[in-house]
């Protein structure tokens, strides 16, 4: 399979390129210096030139707080660029696998969000990512939108690495208990995206996140226990950590699709990430 991976310099994009090549696929990875996806003509020319069977789009504006002050910039990257890429792919009958986010949801909840649930983003980042989903669906029928949550892994800044760094600098950390989600290791999500890239005709929205759920506090406790870290983890609430952008209190993703995207438990992802750190 000929794959084009956009956002190839990011944490997930790096992983997808590496994993796809290991599986024997012909992969081209592009990042912003290679191609500005907000340039519709340039995007159309490059995609036509490369002629991939499937485009896996990992490119995104991910500064959640920055999006509150720069929503038009976030919209250009998270929505307009997705539309450009989708129209270019449609011109050559290529499939598009696009990575989206739990931030499109909001409001109280006690059961996992499913693919058919109505989006209600609470902030600019979620609004722009939802706009990208809509542009993609409008531009080409041959698409798979994969919403994920609490992504961590090698190759970029992430919550787990931040907590491990802080554990080396202090005796205790305070982590919120009132945000619950589905931590997702890039090492689990990447193969699922590649597999989905070859499922032509299986279209629409998919949820792909680590199985199970926990709070950020519980994630930190699990991480430190598995890493053998003695730093204490104190409970706190979101009110004590005011941020520019609102965070969803409930980010647990489930699936109603068959076949859907089903990943290993989030605890396995934590162990996989730690194992990679040790061998890096």
Return the active site residues. Answer: 125
Cα 229 from Cα 202, distance rounded (Å):
43
Residue 41 phi, psi (nearest 5):
-65, -45
Distances (CA, A) of 209 to 31, 157, 190: 24, 18, 11
Interatomic CA distance for residues 14 and 155, integer angstroms: 7
- Compute φ and ψ for 13, nearest 5 degrees: -60, -45
Q: Is 30 helix (H, G, I), strand (E, B) or coil?
A: strand
Answer yes or no: are the C-beta atoms of 260 and 207 closer than 8 Å. yes
What CA–CA distance (Å, rounded) separates 17 from 58? 10
3-state secondary structure of 98: strand
CB atoms within 10 A of CB 49: 9
Distance (Å, rounded) from C-alpha 123 to C-alpha 116? 20
Phi, psi of 175 (to 5 degrees): -135, 140
Place of tokens 């009132």: 178
């Amino acid at each position: 399979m000929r794959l084009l991976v956009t956002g190839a310099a990011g944490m997930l994009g790096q992983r997808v390129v590496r994993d796809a090549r290991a599986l024997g696929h012909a992969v081209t990875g592009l990042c912003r210096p290679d191609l500005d996806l907000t340039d519709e003509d340039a995007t159309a020319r490059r995609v036509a030139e490369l002629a991939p069977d499937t485009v896996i789009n990992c490119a995104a504006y991910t500064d959640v707080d920055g999006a509150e002050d720069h929503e038009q910039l976030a919209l250009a990257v998270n929505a307009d660029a997705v539309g450009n890429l989708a129209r270019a792919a449609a011109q050559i009958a290529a499939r598009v696998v696009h990575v989206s986010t739990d931030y499109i949801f909001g409001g109280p909840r006690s059961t996992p969000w499913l693919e058919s649930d109505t989006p209600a983003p609470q902030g600019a980042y979620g609004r722009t990512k939802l706009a990208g989903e809509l542009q993609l669906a409008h531009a080409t029928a041959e698409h798979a939108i994969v919403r994920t949550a609490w992504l961590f892994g090698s190759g970029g800044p992430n919550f787990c690495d931040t907590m491990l760094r802080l554990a080396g600098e202090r005796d205790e950390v305070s982590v919120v208990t009132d945000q619950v989600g589905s931590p997702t290791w890039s090492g689990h999500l990447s193969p699922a995206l590649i597999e989905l890239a070859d499922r032509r005709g299986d279209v629409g929205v998919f949820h792909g996140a680590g199985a199970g759920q926990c709070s950020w506090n519980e994630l930190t406790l699990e991480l430190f226990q598995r890493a053998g870290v003695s730093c204490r983890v104190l409970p706190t609430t979101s009110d004590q950590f005011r941020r520019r952008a609102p965070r969803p209190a409930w980010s647990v993703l489930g699936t109603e699709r068959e076949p859907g995207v089903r990943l290993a438990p989030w605890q396995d992802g934590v162990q996989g990430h730690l194992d990679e750190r040790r061998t890096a």
